[in-house]
Copies of this chain bind each other. A is one copy, B any other.
Amino acid sequence: MSSTVPANSVGLVTPSVARFGEPLPLECGKTLPSYELIYETYGTLNSTRNNAILICHALSSDHHAAGYHSTNDKKPGWWETCIGPGKPIDTNKFFVVCSNNIGGCKGSTGPMSKNPQTGQPYGPDFPLVTVKDWVNTQARLANQLKIDCWQAVIGGSLGGMQAMQWSIDFPDRLKHCFIIAAAPHLSAQNIAFNEVARRAIITDPEFHEGHYYKYDTEPARGLMLARMLGHITYLSDDAMLAKFGRELKTSDYQFSYDVEFEVESYLRYQGEKFIGQFDANTYLLMTRALDYFDPAKNYNNDLSAALSMTKARFHIIAFTSDWRFSPARSREIVKALLDNNRDTSYAEITANHGHDAFLMDIPHYMDVFRANMNQLDLADHTADQSAETTHAPT
């Protein structure tokens, strides 16, 4: 292995693709006739198949959660800090699975995929999928992998929402549920930011009502603005102060609209980097899935009722400076779980990194994450295997 790959990494990884020929009914009322999921795995599934962990990804990430695709890769997977040998999600112990959500643009079926009915990319005709739909596709992937029950389903941000949905929809198919830097639903302000991002994309003249592939173009300006705005909400005011303050690119004001302040330079870089790396239709779809997520909605807006059928042990983690999904939002989840007497741990990590903290190597966070992961008891399951087989895949 090249020297670029650190020893505590899962190392070189290759994605797999799972094909699903059975039609998938969606929450929106439409049906996806067939689909593919691209996924990666790290570690080894044990003989009792009880050490599997599902990682759910957030808005703009994908199935590449850890390791490297080649020794030339400059960056590892998006959650390299947490997944690997000896890390909180310890690949010496667990078999870790992470798939790209449908509707995505990194290899699973989505707007860029060919619509079998037309032979052209789906584009805007790809149905609006939801967190619940994603969980269904992940359950089918578990069936293919012959994983009856996840030892844990884990996610941050939109990924945490998928973990929560798992606990509601498949209570017998996960032992532990990790909901990190998430919320039981988006606030009006959260939706408002998503709406501005979507309007930026949709009103871009290069959007062509979502059919931009046909014109060999993309709504690059809109996507750039959406990403810039996203980054503001990922960082706290304090983190921005610490990172950029009012630092200037040059020695004094230039009196122009070019980059004057370091923070402008950072945002433009992030926005421009996103162009060509991410699909605008997917960005629309992912933000809408966020807006729609609201498990309490079908329970008269009673989150406690929504969580009443859950069986998992819950681990909720929030970050003090996260203003996208603040600790107060996580506490709503904790309260609803305690209403149901669920086994629940809650940690509020002091961190000034904002929402992005969930991706970062923060000692208190890593310690708490590791301590919670140590609660996962593979031995119990083995001893109780005869009972366990009653939890057949649905």
Contact = CB atoms under 8 A, between A and B. Distances in A.
A191 B263 contact: yes
A221 interface: yes
A196 B232 contact: yes
Contact of A192 (B198, B204, B232, B292): B232
Nearest to A296: B246
Interface residues of A, number: 54
B188 A255 contact: no
A381 interface: no
A29 interface: yes
Given A240-B187, A264-B191, A199 B271 contact: yes
B188 A261 contact: yes
Given A196-B232, A225-B203, A225-B225, A128 B256 contact: yes
A229 B225 CA distance: 11
B291 A192 contact: no
Given A191-B246, A192-B267, A196-B229, 14 more contacts: A27-B255, A189-B240, A192-B231, A192-B232, A192-B263, A192-B264, A195-B264, A195-B268, A198-B257, A199-B224, A200-B225, A202-B257, A203-B221, A203-B224
Contacts of A267: 192, 195-196
A237 B27 CA distance: 29
Contacts of A241: 187-189
Residue from A186, A188, A198 having most chain B Cβ neighbours under 10 A:
A188
Contacts of A29: 255
By Cβ-Cβ distance, the 7 closest A-B pairs, closest first, are A188-B240, A28-B255, A203-B221, A188-B263, A188-B244, A128-B255, A189-B237
Interface string A32-43: 000000000000
Contacts of A187: 237, 240-241
A240 B292 CA distance: 17
Interface in A236-270: 237, 240-241, 243-246, 253, 255-257, 260-264, 267-268
A263 B195 contact: yes
Contacts of A221: 203-204
A191 B228 CA distance: 12
A229 B229 contact: yes
Contact of A228 (B195, B246, B261): B195
A193 interface: yes
Nearest to A202: B257
A205 interface: yes
Residue from A28, A231, A237, A246 having most chain B Cβ neighbours under 10 A:
A246
A268 B199 contact: yes
Nearest to A271: B199
Given A199-B225, A224-B199, A228-B196, A191 B261 contact: yes
Contacts of A203: 221, 224-225
Contacts of A224: 199, 203
A284 interface: yes
Nearest to A204: B221
Contacts of A196: 225, 228-229, 232, 267
A43 to B, nearest CB: 37
Contacts of A202: 257
A196 B196 CA distance: 11
A288 interface: yes
Contacts of A291: 260-261
